[in-house]
Homo-oligomer: A and B are copies of this chain.
């Protein structure tokens, strides 16, 4: 009787098996970047603890990690507050992310396995279809997979963790123009294809350049970075 049931493998609920500290970390991070916790708001370990129905240690652990991410700042024995993140800080983080994704692409060009390259080709193929159908949801998912594949191919934990933390800022603010220019989709597709080509060619420098330009351009269309007015001029010293 029960033996049959014992053979059944658990459905293994997806993400409910995480530690409380990890869940608190993600939840708090989401609350901050989504604006539910306004900048400057005071955070109390105990307060948050019984608000979440858990103990104070996991909360403290989460706050420490958030502090390392720069999302909160805690003054010893005085309190913890949500850090102020203005548009300029957000732009800085975007530029940092662009640089890191560039390095990731360079490393991936050297180390990526053929299997990963094959999956990447599939992803770009899905992107092409989604672009033609203007399926934004599928496009976002494919885009996520695209970058995750490249980052994962590096195998560098520091790089992956850092980019994950930066990725959380993507939905900061968020009245970002959905109705961007109609040629933004095809352009992004071209850029992705170009990155894939560089990876297949095992050209680290080219992959890095293209990836970085892609991320920067995407940040510009999302209004987090200002359009490069004169930044692209010759890099000569301007005499003062």
- This protein's copies in its complex: 2
**Interface 0/1 of A9-28, CB less than 8 Å to B:** 00000000001010000000
Range of interface residues on A (Cβ < 8 Å):
35 or more
In Å, the complex CA distance between A60 and B65 comes to 12
In Å, the complex CA distance between A83 and B157 comes to 10
**Interface 0/1 of A144-187, CB less than 8 Å to B:** 00000000001011110110011000000000000000000000
* B68 & A95 in contact (Cβ 8 Å cutoff): no
Question: Out of B70, B165, B206, which one reaches A237, CB within 8 Å?
Answer: B206
Q: Is A198 an interface residue (CB 8 A)?
A: yes
* B107 & A92 in contact (Cβ 8 Å cutoff): yes
- Please name 17 further chain A to chain B contacts, defined as beta carbons within 8 Å, in addition to the given A69-B161, A198-B237, sorted by A numbering: A21-B64, A64-B64, A69-B158, A83-B157, A92-B156, A95-B107, A99-B100, A158-B165, A200-B240, A201-B240, A205-B233, A206-B237, A208-B235, A209-B235, A212-B239, A216-B239, A235-B238
